[in-house]
Amino acid sequence: MVADASVQPDLKDGRLEDLMVRYQQADEIAAAQLIRLVSPILLRYLSARIATRNQAEDLLQECWLRIHKARCTYRPGQPLLPWIFAIAHHTRVDGFRRRRRIESHELAMDEIRDSKRSRQEAGPVSSLMFSQLLAELPESQRDVIFLLKVCGMSLEEIARARSTTIGAVKQKAHRAYEKLRTLLDEDSKTTVKR
């Protein structure tokens, strides 16, 4: 199940919920359409902090298996994306724990320093640099920024997907923005000194 992450479907219309209801009723065509529409954004979400695309695609498949097993728990009329992203979040956390048990080693400090040096040498903010800046955020803050800005989910949808309050989501977003501003200021000061 390979998804093209460059395709950005319109995920805000009610079409996804309709497809999910038909999927619950064993409509194979609806299931295939749902997978085709949602997989690109799920792959981007699951790719965060993953070393290889193959690992991300494995997580995507595992996520769809979990969605398939839990499809009867989706309540028609409710927004679908928070339900899907709640499953994706748990899939990603479980995958991280599994990889951590398998790899059980840490990055050398030299590798971390080299990563920061290469980011500073990149110059103006690029999508690669932005990805590296996001990688420095705590996972919960990174998730909120991803769901807000990339997925276009509302604060209410994110709060529902994370089983938290809207205030907690706002707080994580605010802290993430502050951290990004600080990181960008540090990078611009380093660039000016050269």
Report the alpha-carbon distance of residue 47 to residue 53 in Å, rounded. 7
Spatial CB neighbours of 150, under 8 Å, sequence gap ≥ 6:
41, 44, 45
Domains in the chain and their CATH numbers?
7-105 (1.10.1740.10), 106-194 (1.10.10.10)
What share of the chain in percent tops pLDDT 90?
37
Are 12 and 41 contacting, i.e. CB atoms less than 8 angstroms apart? no
Q: Which residue has better confidence, 16 or 103?
A: 16
Q: Give 157-185 pLDDT, tens digit per residue.
A: 888 888 889 999 999 999 988 988 888 77
| Average pLDDT for 20-35 | 94
pLDDT of residue 3: 45
Per-chain mean pLDDT for the chain: 80
Report the alpha-carbon distance of residue 41 to residue 38 in Å, rounded. 6
pLDDT grade for 47, boundaries at 50, 70 and 90? confident
| Total number of residues shown for the chain | 194
pLDDT above 60 for 123: no
pLDDT of residue 13: 61
| Average pLDDT for 13-27 | 90
Q: Which residue has better confidence, 49 or 111?
A: 49
**3-class secondary structure, 109:** helix
| Sequence-distant contacts of 174-177: CB under 8 A, at least 24 apart | 175/141, 176/137, 176/141, 176/142, 176/144, 176/145
pLDDT grade for 39, boundaries at 50, 70 and 90? very high
pLDDT above 80 for 37: yes
45 in the Ramachandran plot: left (φ > 0), alpha (ψ -120 to 50) or beta? Answer: alpha
Report the alpha-carbon distance of residue 158 to residue 193 in Å, rounded. 40
Report the alpha-carbon distance of residue 38 to residue 138 in Å, rounded. 25
Q: Which residue has better confidence, 6 or 116?
A: 116
